Amino acid sequence: MSSVTYDHVVKRFDDVVAVNDLNLEVKDKEFLVLVGPSGCGKSTALRCLAGLETITEGEIKIDDDVVNDVAPKDRDIAMVFQSYALYPHMTVYDNMAFGLKLRKYDKAEIERRVNEAADILGIEPLLERKPRQLSGGQRQRVALGRAIVREPKVFLLDEPLSNLDAKLRVQTRSEITKLHKKLGTTFIYVTHDQVEAMTMANRIAVLNFGILQQVDTPQQLYDYPDNLFVAGFIGSPAMNFFSAHIRQEGGDLFVDGGSFKVKVPENRQAVLKSYVEKAVIFGLRPEDIHNPDYAPPGIIAQEIEAEVDVTELMGNEIFLYLKDENHDFIARVDPRTETEMGDHIKIAFNMDNMHIFDKETEETVR
């Protein structure tokens, strides 16, 4: 059992509120990712749990125990930082064993734990090397190993992949996901990279300006964002946003973007009745904007015209940077699409997956 609870936690630095009334429960054996832009309070929240920052208000619990006044070394957590922080004069084995030696574990127990961790991480051949003889990915695995040997209740990982190149990041994030399953321990992971969050987490907590915006599974966050910020932060490329109005013509409702007008699906019209003639924000993800010739069957497609500003061939897909009189937006289309900069083309909006946000509150209209 190793749950974590933030109960109305506030952290202030003088006049700056870094974490604002955070209420969050991390379940036993869960992989929860704290995600948000730089300065949103995610690392501060993690450091408060680790005991590296004292909280201003509220309580933090590990299992049922309040740990506000418990020393970091007694919280039974292990932390992996962006910086590997390895001792350069020590071997990999000694780096991993150092914390256990300080805690007066006997030699046999230290050897068992280090060897088991090295086996899990595939770094057994590296145990006699010094950090300078290792690649970035190997150093990161050693830092993980140093945490694993502690056999803690909770692992805290603060942007551990930031120093790795793109290919190694992809490889290492899959290794961390496998590691979580092997160890069966609670992981709390901080990142600004929403792709890492989407691919690794059981649940994601999205923060902005120290305030928890939404916490849910990756797919629920993607499909049903609570507000404009979450919608724009989750997904890559980001969701397109269009300033628009809801119009009524006869018995039907339309999204009027000025340079385009598209019909609202029947099953979405009831919730938008109160927004007729009001300003809204219309959201549509790039992957829901298609070349009409290759649009998926069965979708509610509404065609508009746009000019191609830039094309990016990705191999398995093409990113089209498009513009019309009022908007710039991105489409993620089939690689068989043949178009060039400056072309005027028809594109299809998948209205099944449209999002509408209140212009004033920026909350999702449901």
Highest-pLDDT range among 74-83, 115-124, 342-351: 342-351
CA–CA dist 134, 130 (Å, integer): 7
- The mean pLDDT value for 166-186 works out to 89
Residue 162: pLDDT band (50, 70, 90) is confident
- The mean pLDDT value for 19-48 works out to 97
**Residue 99 to residues 65, 102, 150, Cα–Cα distance (Å):** 24, 5, 8
**Residue 30 to residues 4, 44, 184, 220, Cα–Cα distance (Å):** 10, 20, 8, 17
pLDDT at 95: 95
Residue 85: pLDDT band (50, 70, 90) is confident
* Residue 238 phi, psi (nearest 5): -70, 160
Are the C-beta atoms of 292 and 339 separated by less than 8 Å?
no
Lowest model confidence (mean pLDDT) among 164-173, 295-304, 322-331, 355-364? 164-173
298-309 as b/e: b if 16+ CB within 10 A: eebbbebebebe
Residue 123: pLDDT band (50, 70, 90) is very high
Residue 209: pLDDT band (50, 70, 90) is very high
pLDDT at 1: 57
Q: Around 93, how many Cα atoms within 13 Å sit in the side-chain half-sphere?
A: 11
Residue 81: pLDDT band (50, 70, 90) is confident
Rama region for 33: left / alpha / beta (φ>0; ψ in -120 to 50; rest): beta
- The mean pLDDT value for 133-155 works out to 92
- The mean pLDDT value for 39-61 works out to 97
- The mean pLDDT value for 50-63 works out to 97
CB atoms within 10 A of CB 235: 18
Residues in the chain: 366
- The mean pLDDT value for 13-41 works out to 96
Residue 137: pLDDT band (50, 70, 90) is confident
Looking at residue 24, its amino acid is L
pTM of the entire predicted model: 0.92
CB atoms within 10 A of CB 246: 22
What residue segments make up the domains of the chain, in order of their start?
4-233, 240-358
pLDDT at 272: 97
Give pLDDT tens digits for 227-267.
999 999 999 999 999 999 999 999 899 999 999 999 999 99
Superfamily of domain 240-358: Nucleic acid-binding proteins (2.40.50.140)
E-strand ranges in 161-300 read 186-191, 203-208, 211-216, 240-249, 252-256, 261-263, 279-284, 289-290
Query: Distance from CA of residue 292 to its chain's centroid?
Result: 31
CA–CA dist 86, 143 (Å, integer): 7
pLDDT at 84: 82
pLDDT at 304: 96
* Torsional sign, CA 199, 205, 207, 213: positive
Q: Which distant-in-sequence residues (6+ apart) come within 8 Å of 260 by Cβ?
A: 304, 305, 324
CA–CA dist 14, 184 (Å, integer): 39
What CATH code is assigned to 4-233? 3.40.50.300
- The residue written with tokens 């069965």 in the block is 298
Average pLDDT, the chain: 95
CA–CA dist 76, 73 (Å, integer): 7
Does position 57 have pLDDT exceeding 80, yes or no? yes
- The mean pLDDT value for 334-358 works out to 96
| End-to-end Cα distance, the chain | 37
Are the C-beta atoms of 152 and 144 separated by less than 8 Å?
no
Q: Which two tokens stand for residue 261?
A: 């007008």
* Residue 123 phi, psi (nearest 5): -115, 20
Q: Which distant-in-sequence residues (6+ apart) come within 8 Å of 165 by Cβ?
A: 136
